[in-house]
Amino acid sequence: MLCVMTRRIVLFGGSFDPIHVGHTTVARAACEHLEAERLLFIPARRSPHKHREPIADGADRLAMIHLAIADHPRLDVSDCELRRAGPSYTLDTVRTFRRMYGDAVELCWLVGADAARDLHRWHRAAELLDACRVCVMRRGGAPAPDWSPVARALGRERADALAANVIETPLVDVSSSAIRADLARGKDVSDRLAPAVWDYIRRRGLYGPQNAAGPVVFD
Ligand code: ATP
C-alpha cells in the first residue's frame, strides 16, 4: 500500500521578548507530537493582542531566537512579521506561508491556551481557522479550554476542530514578562534562558532598569 506522508510546517508566533526555555521546550514537544518537518518561530513586529510594543527591538529579538534554537535542527525562524508594517495579523502571515508552500503542505499555527481563550476576537478569526490548523498547547495540569465562546461566535464546527487539536505540552512555568521584571530588578534569570541568550542580554544591556541608568549589576 502506498503511504503518503503529509508535509507539515508549524508556525509559532509571539513577541519572544525575550525567547525563554518555555518557548523552546513546548516548540520541540509540539514539533514531535505533530511529526512536523520544521517549526518556525515568528516574532511579531507588534502583537495585536498586547497593549504595548515589545521592549526589545525586532533585530534583538530575532538575534536571541537564532541563539536559542542553534542546537535544534528542526527549529527555525522567520522575520516575515518584522518586515511587514503595522500590527502583525496571524491571517496575513498564514497566507504568506500558504503562497510560499502551496496546498500540499499542512500549516499548523501553534498557540498557548492562555492566548487561545480569545481566539474568536482575533482579526478575521473565522478565515484564520479555515486557512490553517490552529493547534492549542494546553499546559500540563491546566484545565481544558472552554470553547463555547468560539462556538457561539464562529460556529460549532470550528470549535470542535480546535478541541480536536489540543496538544498537551510540558508545564514550564516561565514567562517573558516575569523575566523582564526580574531583569529590571537586576536579578539573575539565567535558569530561564538559553545560555547564549542570557549572554546576549547582558552584553546588549537589554531589559535593564532602564538602560540609561548605566550597566545593570546582576546578582
Ligand atoms: P509575556 O509574559 O510578555 O506575555 P510570554 O512568555 O507569554 O510573554 P509570548 O512571546 O507572548 O511569551 O508567547 C508566544 C506564545 O508562546 C504564546 O502562544 C504563549 O501562549 C506561548 N507561551 C509562552 N510561554 C509559554 C510557556 N511557558 N509554556 C507554554 N507556552 C508558552
Domains and CATH numbers, the chain: 7-204 (3.40.50.620)
Q: What is the DSSP string of 104-148?
A: TEEEEEEEEHHHHTTGGGSTTHHHHHHHSEEEEEEETTPPPP--H
Q: Whose CA is nearest to atom 8 of ligand 1?
A: 176
CB-based burial, 169-179: b 16+ in 10 Å, e otherwise: beebebebeeb
Alpha-carbon dihedral 94, 95, 97, 102, rounded to 10 degrees: 130
Q: From the CA of 37, how far away is ligand 1's center (Å)? A: 22
**CB under 6 Å to ligand 1: residues?**
14-17, 22-23, 26, 111-112, 114-115, 137, 139, 169, 172, 174-177
**Residue of 23, 162, 191 to mutate, ligand 1, most atoms within 8 A of C-beta:** 23
**pLDDT surpassing 90 at residue 4:** no
CA distance 202 to 141: 34
Is the CA virtual torsion 168, 169, 172, 176 positive or negative?
Answer: negative
Is the pLDDT assigned to residue 218 strictly greater than 70?
A: no
Query: In angstroms, rounded to a whole number, what is the distance separating the alpha carbons of residues 197 and 62?
Result: 11
CA distance 193 to 190: 5
State the pTM of this model: 0.92
Report pLDDT digits (tens) over 134-175. 999 986 566 778 899 999 999 999 999 999 999 988 888 899
Cβ-count burial of 8 within 10 angstroms (0-12 exposed, 13-18 middle, 19+ buried)?
Answer: middle
The pLDDT of residue 83 is: 96
pLDDT at 113: 86
* Position 23 confidence tier, pLDDT thresholds 50, 70, 90: very high
Atom of ligand 1 nearest to the CA of 44: 10
pLDDT at 109 over 80: yes
